Structure 1
Amino acid sequence: MDLKSGYPFWAIRNGLMHAFPRLREDLDCEVAVIGGGISGALIADELAAHGHDVAVLEQRDIAWGSTAASTALLQYEIDTHLAELRQRYGEPRAALAYRACAAAVERLGEVAADLRGVDFRRQRSLYYASRAGHVPLLREEAALRARHGLALRWLDADELAADYGLRAPGAILSDCAAAVDPYRMTSRLLARLRRRGAGVYDRTRIQALHATSRKVELRTGEGLRVRADRVVVAAGYAGQHWIDQRLARNRSSYAFVTDPLDADDLQALGETLVWESARPYLYLRSTGDGRLVVGGCDDAVDLPARRDRRVQSRAQRLVRQVQQRFPRLRLQPAFAWAGTFAETADGLPWFGPHPQHGPRVLFAMAYGGNGITYSMIGAELLRARIERRAHPLARLFSFERTVG
C-alpha cells in the first residue's frame, strides 16, 4: 500500500535513523511480528522484555509506512464518545476502555523514558464544542467521564478565549495526554531490540501465511521461510489484506507542520493537544522545538494519485480553519502531507485471532484517531493471550464483538 503523500515531517526531520538487514535465510522463532511501524515495535518490545523470542519483519524501511505520517496525538479519548460506547456495550465495558487508554498514555511515558530523544512530552487535551448545539452532549460526556475517575474540567467560552485565544462555546480540558515523535520512537525501540539479540528485518515482504495446529509458516517474496509458534500481524492498514471480512473503512487525513513559533505565539498550545467535536475534526499539537502540527480535512479518498494532488489545497484549508478558531495565530505550512488511516464502526481496535486463520495468528489493528495508545494496550493484551492469561479487554477489543 502507498500510505502517505507529500513530505511527512518526521521522515524529513530524522531521515533513515538505523540500517536494518533484509532477511537472508530461513528463520525459526517463537513469535514473528509482521510490521515494523510503531504498533509492531511496541508489541515486539513488550514480548521481548518478558522473555519471548521475537523477530520483526517489515516490507519497507522501518517506520516508513503510516508511522512516518502519523501526527502522534497520545490520548485516552476515543473517537467514539464514552456515552455512545455505553449504549453499544454497557457502561462498565465502555468505562474500562477509556480508563485503559488513560493507563496506556502513562505506560507510553514509561517506555519513552527508557529511550533517548523521542520528544515525548506530557500534555493536556482540549476537546472543544464546534457548535453551540454540541455543548449539552459534551457536558454530559464530561460528567460521565468524571464519574469514572478521569481528571478533567469544563471551560466556558470566556475561559477558552482568555487561555487559548480559541473561539468556541465550551470545551472539556483533560489532564491525561502526551505527544511523541513516532518515527524516532519506533526506530529507537527496534534498534534496541536488535542490540539485545532479536531479529529485525526490513525490506522483507511476507507473501504467504499458512497456519496449522502446531506452527505458522510464512514465506517471503524471495522464497525464504519463517517458522514461528505464533505470528502477530501488525501491518497497519495493510493488515486488512490478510482477512476476507471487511473490518474498517480506509480514509485519508491531511496535515502540515509550521516552522518553530515564538513561545508568545504558542502560549498554552505548547502544552495542550486541541481537537473538536465536529466530524471530521480539526486538531493541533506542538512539537518539542515549538512547531505546530495541524491536521484534519479527512476524506474518503484512498487513491494515492488523487491524495497526492490534494495535499497542498487541504493544507491551505486547514490554515483557514485554524484562523477561524484562533484569530491571533498566523500559520504558514513548512511541510504538508497526507496519510491513510482506517476507521472501525465503533472506534475500537481489533486485537487477537481471527477465525479465518486460527488461534496462532494474532492481529493488531490499532485503528482510529488514537492508534498509538491502542497499540500500547494491544501489546499487553497480546502478550497475555500468548501467555494464556486473561485480559479484561480481550473480548471487547477482539473479533468476538459484533462488526458494525
Structure 2
Amino acid sequence: MNLKSGYPFSIVKNGIPNDYLKLENDITTDVVILGAGITGALVRYHLAKEGIKCVTIDARTIGFGSTSASTSLLQYEIDVPLYKLSEMIGKEKAERAYQLCDKAINDLEDIAKELNVEEFESKKSLYYAKYKKDADWLKQEYEARKEAGFKVDYLTPKEVQDQYGIKSYGAILSHHGAQTNAYVMAHELLRYKSDKKEFPVYDRSPIKDITHKKDGVVLKTDNGYTIKAKKLVYATGYEVVEFIDKPIVDLLSTYAVVSEQYNERNFWKDEVLIWNTADPYLYIRTTIDNRVLIGGRDEEFSNPRKRDELLKRKTKQLTDDANGLFPKLNFIPEFSWAGTFGSTKDGLPYIGPYKKKTNSYFALGFGGNGITFSVIAAQIIRDLIQGKENKDAELFSFTR
C-alpha cells in the first residue's frame, strides 16, 4: 500500500540514520514483529527489555511508511472527546483510555531520555472552538477532563485572543503534551540492543505468505526465506486491512506542510500545540529547528492517485490557514506531504489477539495520537506474550 507522497520533512532533514540488512537466511525465533515503523520499534524495545528473542522485519526501507509522514504530536486527547467517549463506552472505561494516553507521554519521555532522542519537547496543548456551535460541548469536555483528574484550564474567547492572538469561541488549555520526531525515535528504538544477535532488524524484505499454526507461525519472504516463531506481532499500521477481514478502520488522506526556517523564534505564547474543533481539525506546532508545521485538511478517501493530485492545492490551503491563524507569521511553505490516516468509530486502537489469526497479536494505533496508542500496545503485548494478565487489554480488544 502506498502510504505517503511528497517530501516528508523528517526524511529530508534526517536522511537514513541507520543501515539494516535484507533477510537472506532462514530464522527461528520466539517472536516476529511485522513492521518496523514507530509501532514495531516500540514493541521490539519493550520485548528486548524483557530479554524476549524477537526478529523485526519490514518490507520497506525502515521508517519510509506512515512513520515518516507522522507530524509527531503527543497528546492524551483521543479523536473522540472524553465526554462523548464516556457516553459510548462508559465513564470509567473512557477515563481509563485517556489516562493511559497521558501515562504514555511520560513513558515516551523516559524512553527518549534513555536513548538520547533530542527531539522530544514537553508542551502544553490549546484546543480551541473554531465555531460558535462548538462552544457548549467544549465546556462540557473541559468539565469531563477536570473531573477525570487532568490539569486543564478553560479560556474565554477574550483570554484566547489576548494570550495567543487567536479568534475563537473558547478553548481548553491542557498542561500535559509533547512533540517529537517519530522517524528519528523509531530508528533510535531499533538501535537498542542492536549489537545482540537475539534482536535482529531487517528491512526491504517483503513477506509474501503467513501460516498460522497451533504451535506457532511461519512466514515466507518474497525471495524464499523462512521465519519460524512462536508468536507474531502485526505492527503494519494502516496496511492491516490486508490481514483483518472485519471493517475496523476508515482510511483517510491527510496533509502536512512545514515552513521555511525562521532566523529567530518569535512564535506564539509557549509554542503550545494548537488544534481546533473543526471536522477535520487543523493543528499547528513548531519544530526544534525554527520552523512551523501545520496539518489537516483531511479527505475521506485513501486512493494514492486522488490523494497526490490534491497535494498542491492542500499545500496552498494549509499555508493560508497558518497565515490566517497568525497573520504576522509570514508562513512560507518549503516541504509538504500527504499520508494515509485511519480512524475507528470510538477513536480507540485495536490491540491484542484476533481469533482468526492464531498465535498472533495486533498493535494497531489508529487515530491522531497513534504514537501514544503504540506505547500502550507495546506494553499490553509484552504482558500477554509473557503470560501476564493486563487489565487494560479488554478495553482495546477486537471483541469490545
Q: Normalising by the residue count of structure 2, what TM-score does the alignment of the two structures yield?
A: 0.97
Q: Distance in 1 between matches of 2:162 and 2:265?
A: 14
Q: Which residue number in structure 1 is paired with residue 286 of structure 2?
A: 286
**What aligned pairs does 1:3-402 form with structure 2 within 5 A after superposition?**
3-197=3-197, 198-261=199-262, 263=264, 265-268=266-269, 270=271, 272-358=272-358, 360-401=359-400
Structure 1 residue 79: Cα displacement: 0.4
Deviations 1:134-184 (A, max 9, x none): 111011111111111111101111221222111112100001110011111
Q: Distance in 2 between matches of 1:335 and 1:9?
A: 6
Structure 1 residue 304: Cα displacement: 1.5
Structure 2: which 5+ residue stretches go unaligned? none
Q: Distance in 2 between matches of 1:151 and 1:87?
A: 22
Question: What is the letter of the counterpart of residue 202 of structure 1?
Answer: D
Moved more, 312-321 or 10-19: 312-321
Q: In 2, are the aligned partners of 1:168 and 1:325 still within 8 Å (CA)?
A: no
Structure 1 residue 118: Cα displacement: 3.9
Deviations 1:218-262 (A, max 9, x none): 111111111111000001111221111121111110000012235
Deviations 1:192-216 (A, max 9, x none): 2322331100001111111112111
Q: Distance in 1 between matches of 2:363 and 2:193?
A: 19
Q: Distance in 1 between matches of 2:57 and 2:368?
A: 25
Q: Distance in 1 between matches of 2:40 and 2:118?
A: 17
Q: Distance in 2 between matches of 1:189 and 1:107?
A: 13
Q: Distance in 2 between matches of 1:235 and 1:51?
A: 23
Aligned residues with identical type, % of pairs: 37
Query: Per the alignment, do residues 274 and 133 of structure 1 end up closer, same or farther by CA in structure 2, a change over 3 Å counting?
Result: same
Q: Distance in 2 between matches of 1:141 and 1:246?
A: 29
Structure 1: which 5+ residue stretches go unaligned? none
Q: Normalising by the residue count of structure 1, what TM-score does the alignment of the two structures yield?
A: 0.96
Question: What is the letter of the counterpart of residue 73 of structure 1?
Answer: L
Query: Per the alignment, do residues 167 and 269 of structure 1 end up closer, same or farther by CA in structure 2, a change over 3 Å counting?
Result: farther
Q: In 2, are the aligned partners of 1:167 and 1:326 still within 8 Å (CA)?
A: no
Q: In 2, are the aligned partners of 1:164 and 1:269 still within 8 Å (CA)?
A: no
Q: In 1, are the aligned partners of 2:265 and 2:290 still within 8 Å (CA)?
A: no
Q: Distance in 1 between matches of 2:262 and 2:392?
A: 41
Moved more, 371-380 or 285-294: 285-294
